[in-house]
Amino acid sequence: MITDPLEIERIAKGIDISLEQLAAMIDHTKLKPYEVRDSIRKLCEEARKYSFAAVYVHPIWVPFAKQQLKDTNVKVGTVIGFPLGSTLPKIKEFEAKTVLEEGADELDMVINIGALREGNYQLVEEDIKGIVEAAKEHGAMVKVILEAGYLTDEQVIKACKIAKKAGADFVKTATGFGPMGATIHHVKIMRETVGDEMGVKASGGIRNFKDALRMIAAGANRIGTSTGVDIIESYREAKQHGIKFEIEKIPCKLCPVTKISSKAVPKEVYTYYKSKCLGCKYQDIYNKFYHGK
C-alpha cells in the first residue's frame, strides 16, 4: 500500500515552525559536476546568511568551503561513492578518510545498490561500516543514501535496518541524480523503520516550502536541496501574507508511482510500483487526471 498523500497533506498543513527552525533543517547543496569556485563561495555566503545546517559540496571543494565557513556553526558536508554507489568499499573508505582529514563534518554515502538488490547484505553492511568507523575518529556524521527509486518498499526497509545496524546517523532518500528523488512515501516508511534513533534526510527535487513541509510531515528532520534560499523566502512570504498551505487536489501527483519510468528503473521495480495503482482508492482520480477517463 502506498502512503496516503492526503494524510501527509493534512499534517503538513498544520505544521507551524519558524523560519529559523526550517533553515536549521536544510543542507544547502551544490553537487552539479560543473560547479566553480564562485558558485561554492555563493553557496557558503547563503548558508552563513540563513544559518542553514550545512553546505554539501563535492570532495574537491571541502577545504575551500571549510575556510569560507570558519567561525560559523554551518557544517561542511560532502558525498562518498557519489552518485552511483558502486565504488569498491576500500575506495569509499579511503575517500571518506581523505575528506575527513580535509575538514568534512558530515558524509553522505551512497549504498551499493546492486548488492542490496541481489541480497548481498553483508557487503552492504560492511560498505557502510567502513565509512562509519572512519567518521567516528573525527566525530563526523554519516548519512546513508538509499536511492529509493531503484528499490521496492521491502528493499528500502531492509536498507534502513542495515544502515541502523552499521551505526549510521541518518538514512537519506536519494542523490538527486536517480529516479523519483524524494517522495513522502519513502520518507514515511524510512521513519517508521528507523524510529527515533536515527535521522531521515529527504533529498531530490524539493523546490519550495510546501515540498519541505510535506517531507517534514512524513518524518524527515533534514532537507537536502539546492534551492534552500527559495524555500526560506517562499516560506517567509507565506507567513507575512497569510498564504495558507493548500492541499493538493490530485493526490496522485504526490505518489511515487507517477514519477516512475520504465526506462529509468529495473523492470521488476517498475512493475512493483505500477501494480500498486490497481488497488488504490484514488484510482478514479488517477484515471480521470492522467488518462481523461
**Of the residues 92, 172, 188, 210, which is catalytic?**
172
Q: Retrieve residue 202's grid coordinates.
A: 529527504
Is residue 227 within 8 A of residue 209, CB to CB? The reply is no
Q: What is the pTM of this model?
A: 0.96
Walk me through the domains of the chain, giving residue ranges and CATH numbers: 5-249 (3.20.20.70)
Give the total residue count for the chain: 293
**Of the residues 75, 201, 210, 211, which is catalytic?**
201
Give the separation between CA 21 and CA 195, rounded to whole angstroms.
21
Tens-level pLDDT at each residue, the chain (293 residues): 689 999 999 999 999 999 999 999 999 999 999 999 999 999 999 999 999 999 999 999 999 999 999 999 999 999 999 999 999 999 999 999 999 999 999 999 999 999 999 999 999 999 999 999 999 999 999 999 999 999 999 999 999 999 999 999 999 999 999 999 999 999 999 999 999 999 999 999 999 999 999 999 999 999 999 999 999 999 999 999 999 899 999 998 999 988 888 999 999 999 999 898 888 899 888 788 777 76
Burial track 201-218 (b if 16+ CB lie within 10 A, e otherwise): bbbbbbebbbbbbbbbbb
Answer yes or no: 108 catalytic: yes
Answer yes or no: 201 catalytic: yes
Answer yes or no: 172 catalytic: yes
Sign of CA dihedral 9, 10, 13, 14: negative
Q: Retrieve residue 112's grid coordinates.
A: 551499493
Residue appearing with cell numbers 517567509: 236
Q: Retrieve residue 154's grid coordinates.
A: 521491502
Ramachandran bin of 174, using left for φ above 0, alpha for ψ from -120 to 50, beta for the remaining angles = beta
- Please, which residues bridge with residue 78 across strands? 57, 107
